[in-house]
Structure 1
Amino acid sequence: MPLPSPLRLPDGLPATPVPWVSPALYAVVAIAGGYAGLRGLGETQPLPFIAGLAALVALDWAERRRWPAGTPVAPGLVLLAVRAGLFLIVAGADGSGLSRVLFLLLPFGIYFVLGPVASATAAVLCLGGLVAAFQTAAPGWHERVEAVADVLMFTVGLVLAVAMASVAVEEQRQRSRLEASHARLRVYADQVAELSAAAERGRLARDIHDGLGHHLTAISVLLEKAEAFRERDGNIAVAAIADARHSARLALEEVRASVRTIRIDAEPFHLAAALKELARRSGERPVVVFDGEGDERRFDREALTALYRAAQEGVTNARRHSGASKVEILLRCDDDRAQLTVTDDGRGFADGAEGLGLTGMRERLDLVGGAVVVDTGRGAGTQLTATVPFRALS
């Protein structure tokens, strides 16, 4: 017949008895038995009494040393049987009669090995054994107040032993669950840290592409312009170089701003002013014009920054790829959303030809709950529409 399953905690380990309970009872029994022997109360037999208690202490020590995480079922049952035998020896040698409290350890220990049902059954059997012993030794015991009181106190002790075991097991279960929860939290914290680092890397990559990439494109175009006009019109070449220097300074400022956002809270961001500056410094070709309406102050910085990066990407693509002569930027802030439209009169591009810039733009807008739509076709120009919803502060 297979052995019953041991009582297990949530982490799979067996439940373990409270370590101080049995030594405490051994000490109480030793003191009471020693006092009874010294005062000549009852018929105490010192040698088996002391030897039995010593064997119990040694058995507990050996069990905890051999199975510190909990005793398996088979050896646990064998040890309980050995303890029951030692309890009988100690109780038979104790003249005080107090050694019967040792039998409280049987249902207490069984609870940790086989669970509450087996523990309650053992408690009933222990009580039945005590009643049978009284009935054999003194048939009229139920008529003596002292004997009835002993049985009642033993019954209370059995109830308390089972209850204490139940509380101890539940405490171990809660501790096991708490430790498992802490372990999961540590795993989740590591995952959040990894995701945060990945998100920050993605943000920096988008900032580099949308900000620094925009300015580097402008510098490249301006230097090409200076090279083209160097012989024909020195003033235009000088102006182009000055504009390229200005774009280089702006690029450096953007890099510093990106670094600052990692270390300290970002400064207030004004989208309309930034878009006006973007249009102003974009040069003569393509001509960039800006128009805006509505109150942007209702929208958070992340949403406004996402729209600004969309405008940068639209202007950069128009300058780099479309051959457009004019780009129009329109910003409209309503009660429920802010919408940015960038329209150019260039040659457009075929569906499915989006590059990393538009992909990064979609990711950025998705992070703030927004969306982007690109309407284009070969020879038809391009219109980029980015929208972010209003999000009330919680």
Structure 2
Amino acid sequence: MTRPVPWIPSVLYGAVLLGGLYYAAIGPGPGVRSAGFAGLLCALTVLDAREWPVASGAVFAPGAVFALRAVLLGAVAALDPSGLSRVLFVLLPFLAFFVWGRTVSVVLGAGCVAALAGVFTVRVPHWEVRAEYISDLLMFALGVVLAIAMAAVAVREQQARARLEGTLAQVAELSAARERNRLARDIHDSLGHHLTAIGIQLEKAEAFASLDAAGSAQAVAHARWSANRALDEVRASVRTLGPEAESGPAGLGRALTDLVHHLDGGSGRITLEVSGTERRPLLVLYRAAQEGLTNACRHSGATQIHVDVAYEEQGAVLRVADNGGGLGTAEEGFGLAGLRERLRLAGGSVELRSSATGTVLTVRVPW
């Protein structure tokens, strides 16, 4: 595990080095022991400054580095007449926490406290009745506890940061997927509809080319309108490239009238009825009309298609009904799935009823 707080050992080494040199300056004076003391602290600083690679499935590398650190700390303590370097031993349980976890750290901390008590027993007769040594032991034990607690907090923070990074990565992935789905819906609902309309009008123009030149020309004109409309919607999507707006074409009733007129081509097969007062245009309602009309014209074989829009107190209701052959055993395609998703995001609902005598698509959108 990467150590989250690599600066703590260096700070302790620096403090002990300054304290030891100051003690030597006011006491016995600098000498070989002081030079060795300073050199070993510098070696410890270098040892803790770099990241040591860990072999896969092995603990030798961290164990060897940890053992070398313990030996160097012992040598520092032997060359330090001031006794300040004993505080460095709190680093052993602190650093062990990042390598082997809480249990090893606590055991090692207890061992360090016991080792200091053993040193006092060997070197200081009757130390257990001398307040200064009791105080030193208690302060060292408190330092071990604080070091272990700090390591635990640092590990939890590192784990929380890793979880947060994972969550952010998932959010970014979901956002990208949502944007892809939105673009797919836009392509299907806009370009798909207009391409279908163009195909229908061109088929009509081809069928009536030798029988009704005026009707054929009108069908070509409607196909051209659908192509221009598709181009306008593509340009609008490229300009925004953002979340889909809640508002649709200005004047939804006029937009639906225009849509029905060009898709029907004057044949009278498609009729439109609008009732109530429009409060604000709804793009999702326009897309629902596109989807319903595209399916009815392309797949149902209907001879009559009726579009009804009712602006009610709670919201708007759109119904697209045809007298075609129904869906039969066919499954819902991407268009209806995308429409359901649009309605879910808008807080609305979609209902599809199909039989051998026709299909009715009902969409409700709250204000």
* TM-score class normalised by the smaller sequence: 0.7 to 0.9
1:370 aligns with 2:350: yes
Amino acid at match of 1:26: Y
Match of 2:229 in 1: 254
- 1:342 maps onto 2:321 in alignment: yes
Asked if structure 1 preserves the Cα contact closer than 8 Å seen for 2:188 and 2:335, the reply is: no
Matches within 5 A, 1:225-240: 225-229=208-212, 237=213, 239-240=214-215
Q: Distance in 2 between the 1:87 and 1:327 partners?
A: 89
Alpha carbons of structure 1 residues 150 and 50: separation in structure 2 relative to 1, 3 Å: farther
- 8 Å Cα contact 1:370/1:388 also seen in 2: yes
Q: 1:224 to 1:58 in 2, by over 3 A?
A: same
SS in 2 for 1:338: strand
SS of the residue 1:330 aligns to? strand
| C-alpha spacing 1:307/1:200, structure 2 compared with 1 (3 Å) | same
- Following superposition, the deviation at residue 89 of structure 1 comes to 3.9
Identify if the C-alpha distance between structure 1 residues 271 and 309 changes in structure 2 by more than 3 Å, giving closer, same or farther.
farther
The 3 A distance-change label for structure 1 pair 151 and 303 is farther
Q: Does the 8 A contact of 1:17 with 1:109 survive in 2?
A: no
Query: Residue 306 of structure 1: CA displacement?
Result: 0.8
Structure-2 change in CA distance of 1:389 and 1:329 (3 Å): closer
Q: Is the 8 A contact 1:295 1:333 kept in 2?
A: yes
Aligned residue-pair number: 352
Match status 1:273 vs 2:247:
no
Structure 1 251/49 Cα, relative in aligned 2: closer, same or farther at 3 Å?
same
Q: Name the residue aligned to 1:311.
A: 293
Unaligned runs of 5+ in 2: 344-348
Runs of 4+ with deviation above 6 angstroms? 69-72
300, 305, 309: which one aligns with 1:331: 309
CA deviation map 1:259-316 (0-9, x unaligned): 1441246653444334434554534545443333344547732133212431354245
Give yes or no for contact 1:365–1:371 (8 Å, CA) kept in 2.
no
If the length of structure 1 is used for normalisation, what is the TM-score? 0.71
Instruction: State TM-score, norm by structure 2.
Output: 0.76
Q: Secondary structure at the match of 1:370?
A: strand
Identity of counterpart residues, as a percentage?
Answer: 23
Deviation of 1:27 (Å) = 3.5
C-alpha distance in structure 2 between counterparts of 1:303 and 1:375, whole Å: 24
1:186 aligns with 2:164: no
Q: Amino acid of the residue matched to residue 292 of structure 1?
A: V
Superposed CA offset, 1:325-359 (max 9, x none): x5444334444661413334xxx44764869xx73
Distance 1:192 1:241, change over 3 A: same
Task: Report what 2:7 is aligned to.
Answer: 20
In 1, Cα distance between equivalents of 2:69 and 2:334 = 73
Alpha-carbon separation, structure 1, partners of 2:294 and 2:198: 9
The one-letter code sitting in structure 1 at the alignment partner of 2:83 is: G
Larger RCO (CA under 8 A, 6+ residues apart): 1
Separation of aligned partners in 1, 2:197 and 2:229: 11
- Residue of 42, 45, 67 corresponding to 2:52: 67
Matches within 5 A, 1:1-394: 14-16=1-3, 18-41=5-28, 46-48=31-33, 50-51=35-36, 53-55=38-40, 57-58=42-43, 61-62=46-47, 65=50, 67=52, 73-144=59-130, 148-229=131-212, 237=213, 239-262=214-237, 263-264=239-240, 268-281=249-262, 282-283=264-265, 285-297=267-279, 300-315=282-297, 321-322=301-302, 324=303, 326-334=304-312, 335=314, 338-344=317-323, 348-349=324-325, 352=328, 359=333, 361-367=335-341, 368=343, 369-376=349-356, 382-391=357-366
Deviation at 1:241, TM superposition (A): 4.4
Runs of 5+ consecutive residues of structure 1 not aligned to the other structure: 1-13, 230-236, 377-381
Distance 2:124 2:96 in 1: 30
CA distance in 1, matches of 2:260, 2:68: 92
Instruction: Please state how far the C-alpha of 1:189 moved relative to its aligned partner.
Output: 1.9
Give the C-alpha shift of residue 185 in structure 1: 2.5
State the distance in 1 between where 2:59 and 2:65 align.
10
SS at 2:210 equivalent: helix
